Amino acid sequence: MKKTIITLAFCVVLFSCNENKTEFSSNENLIDQKIDSLLKIMTLEEKVGQMNQYNGFWDVTGPKPDGGDAAKKYEHLKKGWVGSMLNVTGVKNVRAVQKIAVEESRLGIPLIIGFDVIHGYKTLSPIPLAEAASWDLEAIQKSAEMAAEEASAAGINWTFAPMIDISRDARWGRVMEGAGEDPFLGSKIAEARVNGFQGKDLNAHNTIAACAKHFAGYGFSESGRDYNTVDVGTSTLFNTIFPPFKAASEAGVSTFMNSFNELNGIPATGNTYLQRDILKEQWKFDGFVVSDWGSIIEMKAHGFAKDKKHATELAANAGSDMDMESYAYVEELANLVKEGKVKEEFIDDSVRRILKVKYELGLFDDPYKYCDEAREKDVLGSEKMHNASLDMAKKSIVLLKNEGNLLPLSKKGQKIALIGPLAADKTSPLGSWRLAADDNTAVSVLEGLEKYDGNNLTYAKGTDLTLEQPEFIKELKINTADKSEFGKAITVAKNADVVIMVLGEHGFQSGEARSRAVLDLPGLQQELLEAIFKVNKNIVLVLNNGRPLTINWADKNIPAIVEAWHLGTQSGNAIAQVLYGDYNPSGKLPMSFPRSVGQIPIYYNYKNTGRPVLTDPGIVFWSHYSDVENTPLYPFGHGLSYTSFVYENLNITDTFKTNGTISVSVKLTNTGKTKGKEVVQLYIQDKFASITRPVKELKGFQMVELNPNETKELKFSLTKKELGFYNNTGDFIIESGDFNVYIGGSSNTVIDAQFNLNN
């Protein structure tokens, strides 16, 4: 009898899944109906099961586990008590877990398989902060598209990306995962990444569901220490933190992830205001919210939940739809519903959201659609992936300084010394969050340069950055004593025309839980740089890092500095092409570089104080430091080219009243000798408002490529959306008054004009 019921139920599910495949993927109503019928036959435990996500557990293609946690997870899978798994990778493994869910559980509901595809899967693109430095939305979208194609070929159908936390704090290691400090740029990039991952059709076999994370405020952790307390006011929340999330929601992102931090006293995971009021009510987000890893149970340590059961109640009532690895929902939620502490309609709503994404992915049509071994073999690490990664890597490089045009290097037999612990490194350029990529798979700078002129190239490491092989989950051991390789490097430098020094952070020095209180070059690298400088001043410093660093000495003394971040698999090739001028750099910083850690948080869109400038020479009573300038070392938007650009004729046409726009135009000329790309940036300042406004806010940018002596007129249009702001009750308002408009190739080199908005 039991068998008959199960078979019957299975048929209902299959029937509801298989009929009319194409129509139902595009038909919301039909999906709703299918979900309705499915919900009717699900037990409470099965519903809760959909809200449960487990980490990969045993070698799924091997023997079944017979004890401990793995056995429990396996049993739960068979019972239909697992809705999703993360970190199960590779077609073989994904097929194996999917098979248990689909073929052994009562209702056969497929799993959604999540993974941190943060900047590529097997083939890595630059870390997201580096990609943001390209300001090239098309390229960024393409990069996410490639990541989706590769990951989906390995069985993955859901990425925990994009990470769109705005941050003004380079101490926070996770800045490498985001798009930097600006909400406007951050929103555009959020949209591009969502579109890239999800494509036009989530049902396609090479697109995957995206996840906007971490909602919300995670990038504002106090003192840049990961997981730390966040306390921000309404204005910062609405004008700075929310915009990229709103943009992701409007772009149709399938899922959100909440965050580890508390926000103004309430952990994000148990935060009804964030998840229900803002996200689901105000923004009408109809996907689902997954908790961060263990963030439900962590509410206990926060001092917000009494115990696991209480944490479960708080999270479910606050609108966290899926529990990642807290084992809370699976153990406690059904009982809480039975006790009346969590409404069953909340459970139904969560399950509906989760099933909807599964339907949209086409998992009910074919649970094994991402499990094609032939495709996996073809796509992973393919030439197409490598080409895309190289293209993105070149676009992400920022030329910070180029005194005396030391760069580009001459191809006519210049003797080059390549020095530094990261120069031959084939792992570090992969950066953090590269879970599926293998060690030693990046092209090193040494390899990249050898392709140009190996005969005139000598290499010496100079020093080791770490004492032992770094591991993702372990604290790095930095070398602070062993200088035994200095001598060789000095000799090599003495005999060279130009020295290229590749210094910075190991790939695992940024990322989750990698906060740093000191942002100088770690270990002995500064000492090495100064020692080399003593014997050869023609130094090009190539930085590999996951965050802004404090490099005052280098800025003062080293003629050329190239910000090359952690650029992924094709790193060395991209760097070599830029150094030799086969690619003219066009990147612009998405985050300010501080002069000193003491300036942090430092960001271009700060507000004026009542005493913003020195008015009386020699008198101290104005807003400043007595030991460091207020300005950053390199401002947001900064980045040079091998050519030069001149901005002229900034014109404004105000037709706001008649057609709701302010038109701004500017003339840009390439005044140098090389073809080059410029990111033209438009900023506004609302000079006087009912709530104080930043001194500058980015409101538009365009990328333009010009031949030498070519001039182009560029047009921008500002609408209500760009001119308004959120007030302290979270309402969007637009006020009449005087505005400044600034245009330029950085947030501080600009020409300006004014207009008066008579709303």
Do residues 561 and 400 lie in contact, with contact meaning Cβ atoms separated by under 8 Å?
A: yes
Q: Name the token pair of 379.
A: 């796509």
Residue 160 binds ligand BGC, judged by CB under 6 A: yes
Dihedral sign (CA 742, 744, 746, 750):
negative
Q: Does 262 bind ligand BGC (CB under 6 A)?
A: no
Nearest to 163 by CA among 179, 146, 151: 179
Residues 6+ apart with CB under 8 A from 19: none
Q: How far apart are CA 514 and CA 319, in angstroms?
A: 29
Catalytic (active site) residue 520: no
CB of 88 to ligand BGC, least distance (A): 12
Q: Which of 145, 182, 191, 292 binds ligand BGC (CB under 6 A)?
A: 292
Backbone angles phi, psi at 752, to 5 degrees: -135, 160
Nearer to ligand BGC by Cβ, of 55 and 674: the residue is: 55
- To ligand BGC, the closest distance from the beta carbon of 148 in angstroms equals 16
Residue 346 beta carbon to ligand BGC: minimum distance, rounded to whole angstroms: 24
Phi, psi of 500 (to 5 degrees): -105, 120
> Least CB distance from residue 634 to ligand BGC, whole Å?
28
Which CB atom, from 193 or from 213, has the smaller least distance to ligand BGC? Answer: 213
**Closest approach of ligand BGC to the CB of residue 436, in Å:** 12
Residue type, 552: N
Question: Which one of 10, 273, 293, 452 is in contact with ligand BGC (CB under 6 A)?
Answer: 293
Token look-up 């104005």 returns: 622
Rounded CA gap, 320 and 214, in Å? 12
Strands in 645-655's sheet, in edge-to-edge order, are 645-655, 661-670, 711-718
Q: Contact at 8 Å (CB) between 419 and 534?
A: no
Nearer to ligand BGC, 293 or 606 (CB): 293
Question: Which one, of 527, 524, 532, 593, lies nearest residue 563 by Cα?
Answer: 593
Cα separation of 174 and 430, whole Å?
A: 15
CB of 525 to ligand BGC, least distance (A): 29
321 vs 351: CA distance, rounded Å: 8
* Catalytic residue of the set 182, 292, 425, 453: 292
By CB under 6 A, residue 298 contacts ligand BGC? no
Q: x/- binding map, residues 483-522, to ligand BGC, per CB under 6 A?
A: -----------------------------x----------
Q: What amino acid occupies position 218?
A: Y
Distances (CA, A) of 455 to 46, 452, 460: 66, 9, 15
E strand spans, 28-110: 52-55, 84-86
CB 121 within 8 A of CB 380: yes
What are the backbone dihedrals phi and psi of residue 308, each rounded to the nearest 5 degrees, phi first? -60, -40
Judge residue 702's burial from the number of C-beta atoms within 10 Å of its C-beta, 0-12 exposed, 13-18 middle, 19 or more buried.
middle
Of 418, 400, 380, nearest to 502 (Cα)? 418
Residue 214, preceding peptide bond in cis (omega within 30° of 0): yes
Under rule CB under 6 A, which residues in 86-115 are in contact with ligand BGC? 86
Q: Which residue is nearest to ligand BGC (CB)?
A: 160
Residues 31-90 within binding reach of ligand BGC (CB under 6 A): 86
Helices (H), 582-664: 656-659
Give the shortest CB-120-to-ligand BGC separation in angstroms. 15
Member of 116, 298, 321, 505 binding ligand BGC (CB under 6 A)? 116
Task: Kindly tell me which residue out of 213, 547, 693, 696 binds ligand BGC, with binding defined by CB under 6 A.
Answer: 213
Alpha carbon 57 to its chain centroid, in Å, reads 27
Q: Is 300 helix (H, G, I), strand (E, B) or coil?
A: helix
Footprint on residues 654-713 left by ligand BGC (CB under 6 A) = none
Total residues at interface with ligand BGC (CB under 6 A): 7
CB of residue 211 to ligand BGC, shortest distance in Å: 8
- Are 467 and 605 contacting, i.e. CB atoms less than 8 angstroms apart? no
Q: Are 161 and 210 in contact (CB under 8 A)?
A: yes
Is the Cβ of residue 292 or residue 505 nearer to ligand BGC in the bound state?
292
Between CA 638 and CA 431 the distance in angstroms is: 23
Q: Is 549 helix (H, G, I), strand (E, B) or coil?
A: coil
- Closest CB to ligand BGC among residues 262, 512: 512
State whether residue 440 is helix, strand or coil: coil
298: Cα separation from own chain's centroid: 24
For the annotated catalytic residues, the residue numbers are 292
Interface contacts to ligand BGC, rule CB under 6 A:
86, 116, 160, 213, 292-293, 512
